[in-house]
Amino acid sequence: MISQAMQSALSQQLNDEFYSAYLYLAMSAYCNHTDFNGAASWLKVQYEEEHIHATLIYNYLIEQGVHVELQSIPKPPSEFGALLDVFQSSLKHEQLMTQKLNELSDLALKEKDHATYNLLQWFVKEQVEEEATVSGIISKLKLVKNDGYGLLMIDNELGSRTVATTATPAP
């Protein structure tokens, strides 16, 4: 059984993960609108990953006997600027999520909740990958600046991303 404080913190993280999914879906819609269909596809895959992350936390709470009460999800922005701005917003959001997951891990350690801590370490590791991936995209976008051919090449590359089917922590 997990403490009330941990239940509340995990419930908030559940909401944050659903917001992340919602944010990436908004970014995808924006990129579709601005004809960056490859980026839109990449961001839609990111939406699906974030939904998986939320589901992992949801399932964990259920397994722990927590009565899950879903919260409202804030409305994400609908305008993001240039493609570089989209991915800079993504990185800023991922850095915020990293901070939240680190704080949640600290709470699990403080409470000596090893099962929750173990679950959260998968998320912490995932955040390292998320930030590195988005940082790499930003580097490429900065390199090509506003060169149409360069943006087209990056957009095509982004469109080749597929949904990860193993985005779950090891048992």
Give the C-alpha distances (Å, rounded to integers) separating 62 from 11, 55, 168.
11, 10, 16
102 in any annotated domain = yes
165 in any annotated domain = no
What pLDDT shows up at residue 167? 53
Condensed to tens digits (0 to 9), the pLDDT of residues 75-106 reads: 999 999 999 999 999 999 999 999 999 999 99
Angle of helix 37-63 relative to helix 148-158, nearest 10 degrees, comes to: 30
* CATH number assigned to the domain comprising residue 113: 1.20.1260.10
Q: Do the Cβ atoms of 39 and 83 come closer than 8 Å?
A: yes
Angstrom distance (rounded) from CA 128 to CA 103: 15
Residue 95's contacts (CB-CB under 8 Å, 6 or more residues apart) are 131
Condensed to tens digits (0 to 9), the pLDDT of residues 2-29 reads: 999 999 999 999 999 999 999 999 999 9
What is the domain extent for residue 122? 4-158
71 in any annotated domain = yes
**Alpha carbon 113 to its chain's center:** 24
Interior angle at CA 133, CA 130 and CA 137, nearest 5:
135
